[in-house]
Amino acid sequence: MASLKELAKNAGIFTAGHRACSGCGGAIVINQVMAVAGQKTIVAMPTGCMEVVSTIYPFTAWSVPYIHVAFENVSAVISGVEAAYRSFKRKGKITEKWNFIAIGGDGGTYDIGLQSLSGAVERQHKFLYVCYDNQAYMNTGIQRSSATPLGAHTTTSPTGTAIPGKLQSRKDLTEIMVAHGLPYVAQAIPSHWADLTRKVRAALDTQGPSFINILAPCPLGWRYPTNKTIDIARQAVETKFWPLYEVVNGEYKLSYQPRKEMAIIEWLKLQGRFEHLFEKKNELIDKLQDEINNKWAKLLDKCKK
Amino acid sequence: MKIRALTGNEAMAEAMRQINPDVVAAYPITPATEVVQIFASFVANGLVDTEFIPVESEHSALSACIGAAAAGARVITSTSSQGLALMHEVLFIAAGLRAPIVICEVNRSISSPINIHCDHSDTMGSREAGWVQIYAEDAQEAYDLTIQAIKIAEEIFLPVMVSTDGFIISHCMQRVEVMEDKEVQEIIGVHRSPYSLFDKPITIGPLDLQDYFFEHKRQQIEVMNQSLPVIEKVMSEFNARFNRTYSIFKTYKIEDAEQVVVLCGSTCGTARVAIDKMREKGIKVGLVKLHIIRPFPHKELIELLKSFKLITVLDRSDTMSTMGGPIYVELRSAMYGCSQHPTIVDYIYGLGGRDIDVEQIMEVLLNGEEIIKQKKVATPIGYIGLRE
């Protein structure tokens, strides 16, 4: 594993001056990912927050080659870049090793981009897909996605007198990717940078497609103070909302065991998007806790096997 | 050169084999499926060096082509109808990013109602996407124009689609003169991209707002404005080398004609027979076959058509604007710029693969003679072979 000192050498691949909000979890994710990936990396992004904040013409925050085409097709785009690379390599036009990384938000990954992601990994293109999951369409102003958790307020699952936020549970995309039979799938979070960077290294060293789902707290959408991003991320792990684990060639491995029991309510309290759940007794909190307990038990079971 | 019996799809696939692109990303769709299928067999048998990406949709096919083109690769895909419609969003992006991609397109009607047969509603529906559009009349043209398309795309850095009529060209076997592989390679040359992802750390596809977007679009318009001479140059080089007669449009017996028919695609052959038969009766009619619909060669067409008494347009799709088919709408708009203002009428024909025959076109031409005699048009937009 690379030391922080070594990783710091790659600081600035995603340069200062990008226009992300202060405390943006997505920007921290990209910085950590790129610190491992280094200069010989081609980045593709779908439309989304990080695309919008990083490349407003005539400026770019990318000091590595970068391409954006549209919202739902980043995996297809990187497929084409990677295919061109294989073609050039076979013909001797390129000799160096390159990394190919697609970085998308949950909208571009869980929802509109799921088809092209599924296709690209099934075809076994050698690339890493990083989802920075901030659990809603933050770029367009906090609309629900299939990654939005139960009970959360968004502008398209608003808290009203009849409906208390999102009534549906979030999609478990990490498990969907495991079901594709990828050689490397993991969940990570920027508060645990050593774990995150180790996983990025492992993914880039994988022969074939790899996928890392990274929870990226969003101060604006989750409604918490901008200096709390890392705290919120840590609590997501401690409450087992976001378990850190990896699946290498189908073998599950837990990356981190929370030290003590912490109820999900502790995490929900920190975020304005859940504040309506506390106005009166709300069964959604219990439902969410049950869901987390069940998933955690299943995960531990898979890790034991 | 070899003489072979090939369908339109086989001819396009053969051209693709000889072009030997770096990357092909494609998805099957009737009636273009064979192009992908035959090419996949070339890959499987080691006859090409291409990385073949059998994508999960046409949207991804063109998206992968853009990625590969941005990486500096020579790329081709093939599609039809709904596939082209699914690509619609990405068509504009390919053009805006100046990705020199070629689509071997097989014309098929756009649903609904669903139908697998030929009309031009698919490609005509993409006229504003910023692609050069070339229409072929037969398998030979499908083969020749695919090769020329690569050259055109890579000279002007605009994407190009070459269209054949679904089933009528794509599935009919015809005599095709096929060049040697070496000759094809010589004419297309080596593809060199001035900007590629592997050369230097460039940002492709940035967010472009009010302060620059307009200038970038104006530049794209200018490339299209200047593309016709390049297309003509590529065609004349091709003609000189392979003894062909390509041009942006081709005329037939127009010198002494009073009425000319303007159309594109496989019906040109049927229309030429109709013209011959009319001339046997002493009626002076001619034909203009359009190869290039984008850019629309308006200046050249004004010059060519201004002194005829009647222009009869045959359109294999409709614009749903109540103003007729796309060729008619554009030609009328172009002819507004000429002082003579010849009369122009339109006939929509062959939607969803409805057959059109020589007699039907003769009838249309006879109607045209009436219009010339009476000096008035009762219905400027008609339909051929329609039960009403």
Which residue of B lies nearest to A45 if distances are taken between CA atoms? B205
User: What's residue B340's pLDDT?
Assistant: 86
Confidence class of residue A198 from pLDDT cuts 50, 70 and 90?
Answer: very high
Residue B136 has pLDDT above 90, yes or no: yes
Rounded CA separation B40/B50 (Å): 10
More confident position, B273 or A10: B273
User: B49 at the A interface (CB within 8 A)?
Assistant: yes
User: What's residue A4's pLDDT?
Assistant: 86
CA distances from B334 to B306, B330, B337 (A): 10, 6, 6
User: What's residue A2's pLDDT?
Assistant: 78
Residue B145 lies in a domain: yes
User: B208 at the A interface (CB within 8 A)?
Assistant: yes
Query: What mean pLDDT do residues A260-267 have?
Result: 96
Question: Do B206 and B323 belong together in one domain?
Answer: no
Rounded CA separation B204/A63 (Å): 12
User: What's residue B238's pLDDT?
Assistant: 98
User: What's residue B341's pLDDT?
Assistant: 87
Of B65, B201, B207, nearest to A62 by CB-CB distance is B201
- Give the list of residues 6+ apart from residue B152 with CB closer than 8 angstroms, or none: B132, B158, B160, B227, B230, B231, B234
Contacts of B96 in chain A (CB under 8 A): none
Question: Do B379 and B274 belong together in one domain?
Answer: yes
> How many beta carbons lie within 10 A of that of residue B168, not counting itself?
25
Place of tokens 């296709």: A119
Binary contact (A122, B51; C-beta < 8 A)? no
Here the tokens at position B6 are: 């090939």
Binary contact (B55, A85; C-beta < 8 A)? no
**Among A280-284, B177-181, B318-322, the least confident range:** A280-284
Q: Which of A57, A99, A118, A123 to mutate to test the interface with B (most CBs of B within 10 A)?
A: A57
Question: Do B161 and B267 belong together in one domain?
Answer: no
Q: How many domains does chain A have?
A: 1
Binary contact (B203, A91; C-beta < 8 A)? no
Note the pLDDT tens digit of each residue in B289-317.
999 999 999 999 999 999 999 999 999 99
User: B380 at the A interface (CB within 8 A)?
Assistant: no
CA atoms within 13 A on the CB side of B256: 4
Chain A nearest-CA distance from B74, in A, is 9
Contacts of B212 in chain A (CB under 8 A): 57-58
AA letter at B329: V
Confidence class of residue A86 from pLDDT cuts 50, 70 and 90?
Answer: very high
Residue A280 has pLDDT above 90, yes or no: no
Contacts of A88 in chain B (CB under 8 A): 22, 71-73, 198
Binary contact (B203, A62; C-beta < 8 A)? yes
User: B202 at the A interface (CB within 8 A)?
Assistant: yes
What CATH number does the domain containing A197 carry? 3.40.50.970
Confidence class of residue B40 from pLDDT cuts 50, 70 and 90?
Answer: very high
Question: Quick one: B295 exposed, middle or buried, by C-beta within 10 A (0-12, 13-18, 19+)?
Answer: middle
Binary contact (B66, A94; C-beta < 8 A)? no
Question: Do B157 and B262 belong together in one domain?
Answer: no
What CATH number does the domain containing B91 carry? 3.40.50.970
Residue A1 has pLDDT above 80, yes or no: no
CA distances from B43 to A274, B50, B77, B183 (A): 55, 7, 14, 21
B 146-175: CB under 8 A from A: none
Note the pLDDT tens digit of each residue in A122-166.
999 999 999 999 999 999 999 999 999 999 999 999 999 999 999
Which residue of B lies nearest to A95 if distances are taken between CA atoms? B198
Report the mean per-residue pLDDT for chain B.
97
> How many beta carbons lie within 10 A of that of residue A110, not counting itself?
24
Binary contact (B65, A80; C-beta < 8 A)? yes
Q: b/e for A51-84, b at 16 or more Cβ within 10 A?
A: bbbbbbeeebbbebbbbbbbbbbbbbbbbbbbbb
Q: State how far Cα A285 lies from the chain centre.
A: 24
Query: What mean pLDDT do residues A191-203 have?
Result: 98
* Backbone dihedral region for residue B341 (phi beyond 0: left; psi -120 to 50: alpha; all else: beta): left
Query: What mean pLDDT do residues B138-158 have?
Result: 98
What CATH number does the domain containing B261 carry? 3.40.50.920
Question: Do B300 and B213 belong together in one domain?
Answer: no
More confident position, A263 or B340: A263
Query: What mean pLDDT do residues B184-213 have?
Result: 96
Last residue of a domain, one of B226, B242, B258: B242
Q: b/e for B52-75, b at 16 or more Cβ within 10 A?
A: bbbbbbbbbbbbbbbbbbbbbbbb
Query: What mean pLDDT do residues A202-228 have?
Result: 98
Chain A nearest-CA distance from B46, in A, is 13
3-state secondary structure chain B: CEEEEECHHHHHHHHHHHHCCCEEEECCCCCCHHHHHHHHHHHHCCCCCCEEEECCCHHHHHHHHHHHHHCCCCEEEEEEHHHHHHCHHHHHHHHHCCCCCEEEEEECCCCCCCCCCCCCHHHHCCHHHCCEEEECCCHHHHHHHHHHHHHHHHHHCCCEEEEEECCCCCCCCEEEEECCHHHHHHHHCCCCCCCCCCCCCCEECCECCCCCHHHHHHHHHHHHHCHHHHHHHHHHHHHHHHCCCCCCEEEECCCCCCEEEEECCCHHHHHHHHHHHHHHCCCCEEEEEECEEECCCHHHHHHHHCCCCEEEEEECCCCCCCCCCHHHHHHHHHHCCCCCCCEEEEEECCHHHCCCCHHHHHHHHHHHHHHHHHCCCCCCEEECCCCC
Which residue of B lies nearest to A118 if distances are taken between CA atoms? B56
Rounded CA separation A111/B276 (Å): 59
- B75-80 and B23-26: which strand pairing? parallel
Helices B58-70/B88-96 angle, 10° precision: 10
User: What's residue A3's pLDDT?
Assistant: 86
Q: Which of B51, B77, B195, B217 to mutate to test the interface with A (most CBs of A within 10 A)?
A: B51
Question: Do B91 and B207 belong together in one domain?
Answer: yes
Give the range of the structural domain holding residue A214, as residue numbers without chain letter.
4-304
Question: Do B163 and B112 belong together in one domain?
Answer: yes
User: What's residue A114's pLDDT?
Assistant: 98
Q: ipTM of this model?
A: 0.97
Last residue of a domain, one of B219, B242, B265: B242
Contacts of B89 in chain A (CB under 8 A): 70
Residue B388 lies in a domain: no
User: What's residue B70's pLDDT?
Assistant: 98
Question: Do B229 and B175 belong together in one domain?
Answer: yes
Last residue of a domain, one of B186, B221, B242: B242
Binary contact (B53, A80; C-beta < 8 A)? yes
Residue B125 lies in a domain: yes
Query: What mean pLDDT do residues A217-230 have?
Result: 98
Contact in structure between A104 and A133 (CB atoms under 8 Å): no
User: What's residue B360's pLDDT?
Assistant: 98
Give the range of the structural domain holding residue B274, as residue numbers without chain letter.
250-383
Confidence class of residue A11 from pLDDT cuts 50, 70 and 90?
Answer: confident
Residue A281 has pLDDT above 80, yes or no: no
Q: How many domains does chain B have?
A: 2
Phi (first) and psi of residue B261, to 5 degrees: -100, 135
Contacts of B53 in chain A (CB under 8 A): 79-80, 83, 123
Rounded CA separation B296/B183 (Å): 30
Note the pLDDT tens digit of each residue in B59-109.
999 999 999 999 999 999 999 999 999 999 999 999 999 999 999 999 999
Of A65, A68, A75, nearest to B202 by CB-CB distance is A65
Report the mean per-residue pLDDT for chain A.
96
Residue A305 has pLDDT above 80, yes or no: no
Contacts of A72 in chain B (CB under 8 A): 59
Query: What mean pLDDT do residues A239-259 have?
Result: 97
Question: Do B328 and B199 belong together in one domain?
Answer: no
Binary contact (A55, B206; C-beta < 8 A)? yes
Contacts of B75 in chain A (CB under 8 A): 80
Of B63, B66, B69, nearest to A116 by CB-CB distance is B63
User: B69 at the A interface (CB within 8 A)?
Assistant: yes
Contacts of B208 in chain A (CB under 8 A): 57
